[in-house]
Amino acid sequence: MPTTTHDRTLAAAELAANQLEPHVRDDPGVHLLGMLAPAASVTATVAYDYDRAQHWLDQAERPAERTPDAPGENRGAFSASNVGSWRVALATQRGETGRDLLDLAGRVDERELAPAGDATPLSSPTWDAASPATAGPGKKHSAGCCAPRRAGPTRSATPRRWKIPSP
């Protein structure tokens, strides 16, 4: 993707976040604002503007403080744990490794990222204890051990519309 495309996309995300922020008064607005900030951070990261990417992740912390940390149970799946998972993903994109990356990942409670009613974290599939990786040569494993228990979040059959209050 050409650099100018990244610049335009980042400018659009920043403009949207900056224009929305003074008008956010309800949960859907908080979720929308909260997800605009990581979107801007992703674009800044792929454009190699890491300081700007960090700025937008920091901006995502403010609306995350206004949201219960249960993204699997709230409408927008936005919360402090969600922001933490974005931090890990974007650090990986930047090529961070070792202790710094492990420290970032250690701040994210994977149980908070699971959909409501599912204790299985979304970030890492849960495998049967006798998977081929751990069974060893000549040992048998169960038929379902090679598939994650849950493929991902489910979507509601009825979409919800967000109403953004006017100023």
Going residue by residue through the chain, which has 167 residues, state the pLDDT in tens, using 9 for 90 and above: 556 788 888 889 889 888 988 888 887 888 888 888 888 999 999 989 999 999 999 999 888 888 888 766 665 578 888 899 899 999 999 998 889 999 999 988 877 776 666 555 444 433 333 434 444 444 443 444 444 434 434 334 444 444 444 44
Q: Is residue 153 part of a domain?
A: no
Note down the domain range covering 9.
Answer: 3-116
**Do 19 and 96 share a domain, yes or no?**
yes
**Do 112 and 130 share a domain, yes or no?**
no
What φ, ψ does residue 63 adopt, rounded to 5°?
A: -65, -25
Expressed in angstroms, the distance from the first to the final Cα of the chain is 37
Stretch (H or E) spanning 56? helix 50-65
**Do 73 and 128 share a domain, yes or no?**
no
Task: Specify the pLDDT at position 136.
Answer: 40
What domain count does the chain have? 2
C-alpha to C-alpha distance for 100 and 23, rounded to whole angstroms? 36
With both helix axes pointing from N to C terminus, report the angle between 50-65 and 27-46 in degrees, rounded to the nearest 10. Answer: 170
Tokens of 128: 């049967």
Q: Is residue 165 part of a domain?
A: no
Residue the block writes with tokens 């979507």: 155
Task: Specify the pLDDT at position 138.
Answer: 43
Tokens of 160: 């919800």
**Do 142 and 105 share a domain, yes or no?**
no
**Do 110 and 123 share a domain, yes or no?**
no
**Do 93 and 123 share a domain, yes or no?**
no
Q: Is residue 158 part of a domain?
A: no
Threshold 0.75, pTM exceeds: no
Q: Is residue 69 part of a domain?
A: yes
Tokens of 112: 């908070």
**Do 141 and 109 share a domain, yes or no?**
no
Cβ–Cβ under 8 Å, residues 32 and 20:
yes
- In sequence order, the 6+-apart residues with CB closer than 8 A to the CB of 140 are 130
**Do 7 and 66 share a domain, yes or no?**
yes
